[in-house]
Copies of this chain bind each other. A is one copy, B any other.
Amino acid sequence: MQSRIDAWFLSRLSSFLDGVPVELRLWNDVHTSPSTPPIATVVVRDRATLIRLLRRPALAFGQAYSAGRVVVNGDLVRLLEALNRALGGRAYEPAPRRAANSLASAKDNVHVHYDLGNDFYRLWLDEAMVYTCAYFEDPGATLEDAQRAKLDYVCRKLRLQPGDRVIDAGCGWGALALFMARNYGVTVRAFNISDEQIGYAHARARREGLADRVTFVNGDYRTIDGECEAFVSVGMLEHVGPSDYPALGRVINRVLDRRHGRGLLHFIGRNAPMEFNPWIAQHIFPGAYAPTLSEVLPGVCEATGVSVVDVENLRVHYALTLKHWLERFERHAEDIRAMFDDAFVRTWRLYLASAQASFASGDLQLFQVTFGRADDAAQPWTRHALYQTPAHGAL
């Protein structure tokens, strides 16, 4: 009797997969038999997990995978990509709408993810410690080259000139700020609220002899003051939250040079408004949100009359970046297990794999939005300069 109920639960779960060929297998070897060769076998280890999967699939899958109560035999990324394509956003239960991130909650949210230890991130990021989407001039480029190319691409889009003052909001471990100062002769004030990252970036600036031209500030974007010719934010907007886009817009409008100020926002976005997968929202990026362009632009640009010059969607570059990260992560899985534990390794494996799948399937986007003052007469005629041989020798 019990096994007939299990089989019924299993068939319910199977019908939810909407034709994606997956073999589902229970603790008692009850299993489905997909008509086409399955991408993977998903083993459910106990009845409680099976029931949770039926009730809240997206959240329960992540939690059970982390806990080892669900095991995937086969290609995890391919499986998640196929599920994304088949289900779209239908797998995501609506998440409760988050409150605005206060200065304190913003710091807590960032601490959870970015203060896991620089030694951990060093194991699987590129040598410059860039934890955002790279730019592959060619899909065969190395991750190191692609991250350098991204940093340079951002500088080109910003049309940096020697002597420019740059503000970098959400600077990570400082790679972009240092790159700009080193290769474009600018001075940078770079802001971040991750203590671990700011400490690392400080030390790096001193070690590289750039401490007089790059200042790392442990502070929230809302506290940014001063003036700049260029404002850049790579991978921070996801943590700002929609209710604070106008606050970000006011900061940009306040600091940006009135005549020739330019800016660039680089962020994970969506084609249509949607919350993050609830497991990601609870366990990986608390307080984060990936917006559509039309959610960002009114507050950040339109309210202050700043002009959108260029928008580029680099989602395929993020899928490939994540593929590199996941491969490096797997190569160091034993080290990471020693630093943390089994559950941590599984959690981060699933996070990186699901992110790769989401960018590959077009579920997530990566937008670079370049903007400037509305009447900037120095705007170049065409984009040709973005696609010519590097102007400086560093690359």
Which A residues fall within an 8 A CB radius of B? 85, 88, 135-139, 271-273, 292-294, 297-298, 301-303, 305-313, 315-317, 361-363, 365, 367, 373-376, 379, 381-384, 386-387
Contacts and interface: CB of A to CB of B under 8 A. Distances in A.
A307 B365 contact: yes
Contact of A293 (B137, B308, B363, B382): B308
B271 A308 contact: yes
Contact of A294 (B85, B273, B297, B382): B297
A301 B271 contact: yes
Nearest to A311: B311
Given A294-B293, A311-B310, A303 B383 contact: no
A271 B306 contact: yes
Nearest to A380: B316
B361 A302 contact: no
Copies of this chain per assembly: 2
Contacts of A135: 382
Contacts of A374: 271, 361-363
B362 A307 contact: yes
A285 B294 CA distance: 26
Given A374-B362, A379-B316, A297 B307 contact: no
B309 A313 contact: yes
B302 A307 contact: no
Contact of A272 (B139, B303, B316, B373): B303
15 contacts: A137-B382, A137-B384, A138-B381, A271-B301, A271-B374, A272-B302, A292-B297, A292-B298, A294-B302, A307-B315, A310-B311, A362-B373, A383-B383, A383-B387, A384-B387
A77 to B, nearest CB: 15
Contact of A312 (B273, B293, B383): B383
B312 A310 contact: yes
Contacts of A293: 293-294, 297, 308, 311
Contacts of A85: 375
Contacts of A376: 362
Contacts of A361: 374-375
B307 A313 contact: yes
Given A311-B311, A313-B309, A139 B381 contact: yes
